[in-house]
Chains A and B, each alone.
Chain A
Amino acid sequence: MKNILKRLNEKIDDLVVVKQRDDLYFIKVKREHTDFILRYLKLDENFKHLDFMQAVDYIENNQFQLTYMLYNYEIKINLGINVMIDREKAEMDSMHRIWPHLWQYQREIHEMYGINFPGSPRVDESFVLEGWEEMPPMRRDFDTLEYSKRTFYPRPGRSTNDPKEYMKEKLYHDFAKSPKIRRDDE
């Protein structure tokens, strides 16, 4: 893996690498380098498999983070490519020419986060939300509780308990006190 990163560093400057586990690395790249790096990793470094593509809303930094998770079958290492894009003008180049099945992920992200992928096939079709009219629901400034109350007729009389306390009190009252069985964490 070190060699791969070394070779990658020669191609692109200021590469940020985070090692999560022995078999899981993340690198942060700029938007304009993404296409080149993905092609390079797929064709030259044998990262042939795209596990998934996902978006995260960093509303504090006013940014979206897109993650392309790649896998190499030979050295058995997962490599995540993180790309930060602007939140106001949410747009990303479509990568469906590298992995054709990316169009489905891009369609989902387009629907859930409102990130546009120009040129991606069928990106405007609805994926899960049919006929959605509000702001894309996975953006963090979307208030799901308020929307749910407004739309779905909440049934009155709903109460919530802290699960740990409640279970202790209700079910495992005798169990916790029992001298024979003592759990280590108590």
Chain B
Amino acid sequence: MEKKDLNEIEKEMKLANEGLPEKERILFSDARPSRVEPLNKYLEQFVNWARARSLWLLAFGTGCGATELRPLMTSRFDVSRFGIAGRPTPRQASVFIIGGYASIKTIKRIVRSYEQMQGPKYVIALGSCTINGGMYYDSYNTINRIDYYIPVDTYIAGCMPRPEALIAGFNRLKEKIQKGECDGMNKYADNFDWYKKNQKQIIKDWNMPDYNW
């Protein structure tokens, strides 16, 4: 009797992957993201110290704000002196920069890339569009608040923010990481259903697994 209940709970915990064709469902994972607790206090502090000094950006320009990332890499605003480097694959990156407005087509890719990143992962939302829609607040295709779809650690306001503002944002993120306040990965796992509901509300043709591990 008790065992059956457990099975039912397990079944409920699995993701339906309804967007995929029937025969492809077994090819994809149906597991939810799970909460991963931090290490013990001092070890976590040490590890956070290293994480804050080695931030790997996901090189995915999601909007016009991506143009502001180029000058950061070159000699004028060299961010590599803070240990920040670009990484072309989400598997290795730890910081995701949402560069300005995100259209519906892009938010689908943003969610996918964000879920493929290995935690702990941090999100910097860049520009006014990510905060309240900015100048595109009345557009049919630009989402207004990015934090309804993925958890955000730091916002940088402006349209566009200058590279100096971005560096200030990175420093803010570093401070937060070192204090251990950036826990977006666990936040996403805890509120997974809410995020998924919001995402599915705007992404009408959901043709990917529910959780892209």
Which residues of A does B touch, CB under 8 Å? Answer: 126, 128-134, 137, 142, 144-145, 147-148, 151-155, 158
Check A148/B204 contact, CB under 8 A, given A128-B105, A153-B144, A153-B145.
no
B137 touching A128, Cβ below 8 Å: no
What CA separation (Å) do A130 and B141 show in the bound complex? 10
Which residues of B sit under 8 angstroms from A153, Cβ to Cβ? 144-145, 148, 198
B36 CB → nearest A CB, Å: 28
What CA separation (Å) do A153 and B143 show in the bound complex? 8
What CA separation (Å) do A137 and B131 show in the bound complex? 23
B133 touching A152, Cβ below 8 Å: yes
Subset of 11 A-B contacts with CB under 8 Å: A126-B205, A128-B105, A130-B204, A130-B205, A144-B139, A145-B138, A148-B139, A148-B144, A154-B144, A155-B132, A158-B137
Check A151/B201 contact, CB under 8 A, given A129-B105, A158-B137.
yes
CB < 8 Å neighbour of A148 from B131, B137, B198, B201: B137
A171 CB → nearest B CB, Å: 15
Check A152/B205 contact, CB under 8 A, given A128-B103, A128-B105, A130-B105.
no
Number of B positions contacting A (CB below 8 A): 24
Q: Is the interface of A mostly helix, strand, loop or mixed?
A: loop
What CA separation (Å) do A128 and B194 show in the bound complex? 26
CB < 8 Å neighbour of B144 from A126, A129, A152: A152
Which residues of A sit under 8 angstroms from B198, Cβ to Cβ? 153
B87 CB → nearest A CB, Å: 27
Which residues of B does A touch, CB under 8 Å? Answer: 103-105, 108, 131-133, 137-145, 148, 198, 201-206
Interface centre among B105, B139, B140 (most CB of A within 10 A): B140
A160 CB → nearest B CB, Å: 9
Further 4 A-B residue pairs, CB within 8 A, beyond A130-B203, A154-B133: A144-B140, A148-B142, A152-B144, A154-B144
Check A155/B131 contact, CB under 8 A, given A128-B105, A144-B138, A144-B140.
yes
What CA separation (Å) do A133 and B205 show in the bound complex? 10
B202 CB → nearest A CB, Å: 6
Look across to chain A and name the residue whose beta carbon is closest to the beta carbon of B108.
Answer: A130
Which residues of B sit under 8 angstroms from A152, Cβ to Cβ? 133, 142-145, 202
Look across to chain B and name the residue whose beta carbon is closest to the beta carbon of A155.
Answer: B132
B104 touching A148, Cβ below 8 Å: no
B205 touching A148, Cβ below 8 Å: no
A147 CB → nearest B CB, Å: 5
What CA separation (Å) do A148 and B138 show in the bound complex? 6
